[in-house]
Chains A and B, each alone.
Chain A
Amino acid sequence: MVFRFPHSFVINVVADDRPGIVAAVSNAIEQLGGNIDACSQTVLAGYFTLIMIASFPEPLPPAVIAERIREADTSGRGYDVVVRPTLAPEQFVPRPECDRFVITAFGKDQPGIVRRFSQYLAGKDINIVDLYGDHSGDEFVLIGQLEIPKFWDIRMLQADLEQMGQELGFTVKLQHENIFVATNQLRLYGSPPGQSGHASHRRDFIDD
């Protein structure tokens, strides 16, 4: 991760989706003399969420940044803003060496699906780096991109997850991400062996 200025923050905005949110937030950051170093947004069921890394030349209290962003909204509908200072690389929870896998689960929707799977993964120190869940026809589809510590035997995890899927009436598959890269993209492999997304994130901090 590369920061333009020395004082960096992570900014999160949640709102009902409408045109002008990114414009308002970025305007407030510019007014404070800041730079947007990275950003990602998504819209789900009409709701908007934005995560942004922004850096400033002078130290600023997070509450001041949040307030200025709130004030920038011109629609009158408002949005929720959370601002935190970014952590130094060594402040992140250390992660073991991981491989990237994708879990897919299909079945009839019922309360507790995401909880059951995510609790199992959490218990194995497996990190979810991307999660998607939605209805597709009569089925609920859950797709998680995971960082799995290399010390696990994948076939044991697969057996556990398939068993859990059977109990819930779900078809569950756990597959290495490279099969999806190879069949959809022009390259054969995703991240090089031994380098997970999270690890590369942190290495970039160190580079900086």
Chain B
Amino acid sequence: MLRTDEILSTIEMLHAEHLDVRAVTLALNVEDCAAPSVDLLCRKLRNKILSRASRLVEVCDRVGAKYGIPVINKRIAISPVATLLAGHGQNAAIQVAKTLDTVASEIGVDFVGGFTALVHKGITPADAVVIQSLPEVLSQTQRVCASVNVASRHAGINMDAVHLMGHTILKIAQATADRHGFGCAKLVVFANIPEDNPFMAGAYMGPGEPEAAVNIGVSGPGVVCSALKRRIAMDKNLTLGDLAEEIKITSFRVTRVGELIGREVAAELGVAFGIVDLSLAPTPTVGDSVGEILKTLGISKIGAPGSTAAIAMLTDAVKKGGLFASSSVGGLSGAFIPVCEDAALAEAAGAGHLVLEKLEAMTAVCSVGLDMILLPGDTPPETIAALIADEMAIGVINDKTTACRLIPVPGAKAGDWVHFGGLFGAAPVMEVRNAGASMQFVHFGGRIPAPLQSLKN
């Protein structure tokens, strides 16, 4: 029999602190949809997604209701579209993207990820088609999300691809200039892209995965923040070790929610249960913020010295709690710091407390990278590429996933505020110091070799 205090503490977490399942992502292998004619390819793709995923939203809602936990976002991730597009051209890429957009809308999912190219060692003609079509794809579709892996531990950093992405990101921003460059929010540039990530925009189905799998993203920065505040209010003599323990326990509980829902959704859909990704993914809602957690940990101005140590402790404790809760932890599993989507981080950036360089340092010890960062519209493509290269280097050298979601806002200067609305929030355009001073480095191109795996001091 359950104890009353157990029931009450769960009720508080779910209803007072608004814990939810952030994303249920159905990953689908679509490689069997390849066809010589693009019409046939699109028809097969549409039929496969409809046959596998048409019940996704209904099942998520039913299972969520049974446990009293809303599943906020239902999504689909497919195997890299570059594989499907081998032998096809840019028009085919756009037709495929539009097919994905339409079918996603029909089955009621908010995003479909996997408009992906893996180019960490080299760019195939199909990869080039995918990358070159991105400005059109991301400006002409609503729900298609793209990702490009430009670096890996084993291959190093493909600087030609990084350079190309610098130019591509600017083109996407210009193609969506009427929406402040919003198209760039649907593109993630990765090092060591995870094969089972349920979070958008970077979700795709990697090689080695089954035919179909349900991957779950649970979040809950608000729950962690409330738990810390409660603990601090009860006990004045806490150490950081005690606070790390509190984060770990809360993460355990949050992960369990994801595993319970994920296993049941997968069973109902008749597909494999993949992983739970326990990531503290903020939303612009007040209180649902990783920045707030840093403040609760005693960093009164986010970005101040100590911020990197605080977020390192937070990320590590989150991972430890999650790993004990589930044997199927995967994806990114850490703390996200997307400036635009986190009200406290955006405020700190606006006040000048949080600068690009400090964010970069923080990403060395947390998930996932320079995420939802607004840049001045006139930032040179080489500088965007160099920002990407720095972030990729952190991932490759530290053997972790890092990523960039950079948005050069057309016509905007450092300090201007941009409002995307909804989940994407609002933030100030950040200052890029020394813009244009990395030209020669980027123009060398080629590949930065894979790093050594010993002598890691």
Contacts and interface: CB of A to CB of B under 8 A. Distances in A.
Contact of A104 (B1, B7, B13, B67): B7
A183 B321 CA distance: 12
B67 A141 contact: no
Interface string B6-17: 111111011100
A181 interface: yes
Interface of A: 102, 104, 129-130, 132, 141, 143, 145, 154-155, 158, 171, 173-185, 188, 190, 197
A175 B256 contact: no
Interface string B59-100: 000100111110000000000000000000000000000000
Contact of B15 (A130, A173, A183, A188): A173
Contact of B69 (A143, A158, A179, A185): A179
A180 B62 contact: no
A115 B165 CA distance: 66
A174 B67 CA distance: 8
Contacts of A130: 1-2
Interface string B249-263: 000010011011001
Contact of B2 (A102, A155, A158, A188): A102
B260 A180 contact: no
Greatest chain B CB density within 10 A among A132, A183, A190 is at: A183
Given A143-B7, A173-B11, A179-B257, A184 B65 contact: no
Nearest to A189: B260
Contacts of A155: 62, 65
Contacts of B257: 179, 182-183
Contact of B1 (A145, A179, A188): A145
Contacts, number: 68
A179 B14 CA distance: 10
A187 to B, nearest CB: 10
Contact of B10 (A129, A141, A158, A179): A179
B434 interface: no
A176 B14 CA distance: 13
Contact of B68 (A129, A175, A185): A175
B69 A181 contact: no
Contact of B8 (A141, A145, A174): A141
Contacts of B11: 104, 173
Interface in B195-248: none
A190 B67 CA distance: 13
B4 interface: yes
A180 B6 CA distance: 7
Contacts of A178: 67, 260
B65 to A, nearest CB: 5
Query: Which 4 residue pairs are nearest across A and B when measured between Cβ atoms?
Result: A175-B68, A184-B6, A182-B256, A179-B67
A67 to B, nearest CB: 32
Contacts of A188: 256, 259-260, 263
B9 A184 contact: yes
Greatest chain B CB density within 10 A among A104, A158, A173, A175 is at: A175
A180 B10 CA distance: 6
A190 B256 CA distance: 13
A135 to B, nearest CB: 13
Contacts of A175: 66-68
Contacts of A177: 2
14 contacts: A104-B11, A141-B8, A143-B8, A145-B2, A155-B65, A177-B2, A179-B67, A180-B7, A181-B2, A183-B6, A183-B13, A184-B6, A188-B256, A190-B2
A184 B62 contact: no
Contacts of B4: 132, 143
A126 B172 CA distance: 58
Nearest to A141: B8
A95 to B, nearest CB: 17
Nearest to B13: A183
Given A176-B66, A178-B260, A184 B2 contact: yes
Contacts of B260: 178-179, 182, 188
B2 A154 contact: no
Greatest chain B CB density within 10 A among A130, A182, A188 is at: A182
Nearest to B11: A104
Contacts of A158: 65
A182 to B, nearest CB: 4
A180 B69 CA distance: 12
A102 B7 contact: yes
Nearest to B4: A132
Nearest to A197: B1
Nearest to B1: A130
A179 B7 CA distance: 9
A106 to B, nearest CB: 8
A176 B69 CA distance: 11
B73 to A, nearest CB: 20
Given A141-B8, A143-B7, A180 B65 contact: no
Nearest to A177: B2
Nearest to B326: A188
